[in-house]
Amino acid sequence: MPTLAEPIVWLVGAGGPVLVVIALVAMALFAMGLERGLYWQFVHRRRRRALVSRWVARHDHLSWSALTLREVWTQELIGQLRRPLPWLKLLVGLCPLLGLLGTVTGMIQVFDSLSLTEANQARAMADGVARATLPTLTGMAVAVVGLLFTTRLEHVIRREDQRLHDRMARAVEDANA
């Protein structure tokens, strides 16, 4: 009866130890993505409502100091949303490099095994090249998915920045009406 770990063991055997590192980077990348989604859903929205309420409760909304304070408050809130972006970009950029490292180490193993055996070299080389390219494929796949997520998060942050300013202005208008 096959166990749940057999495909993982096969992948590690087929791709080498670099594939394990890519898997760990992928888990960190996706964990940070999940954390941002949960932060958006449960923390950011509550803080946004509190910020808009705090802005409406102020008496002065038009002076230079009031507008500067509004900008500082909004940038502080948006900064909390933007906080993990550098780490996400680092992990996304690291994935293809790790894939390349896996390819290089795999090709070294291929040439090493070819120098030791002379029989059936074509088959050994084909297996080795397939084994060497698996980390590259995995690194690129993780990087593409991470890049899509990072780009989407940046878009959401830009949109939220604009909407936050609009909500604060609208809330003051509604309170004065």
Between 93 and 58, the more confident residue is 93
pLDDT in tens, 81-99: 999 999 999 999 999 999 9
* pLDDT confidence of residue 177: 67
Q: Kindly state the average pLDDT of the residues 41-64.
A: 90
Task: Give CA separation, 43 vs 46, 85, 105, 155, 156, in Å.
Answer: 5, 17, 44, 19, 15
Model pTM score: 0.81
User: Which of 7-21, 103-117, 136-150 has maximum average pLDDT?
Assistant: 136-150
Helix then strand count (H, E) for the chain reads 6, 0
pLDDT in tens, 99-139: 999 888 888 877 777 776 665 666 667 777 777 888 899 99
Please name the amino acid found at residue 171.
Answer: A
Burial class (CB in 10 A: 0-12, 13-18, 19+), 15: buried
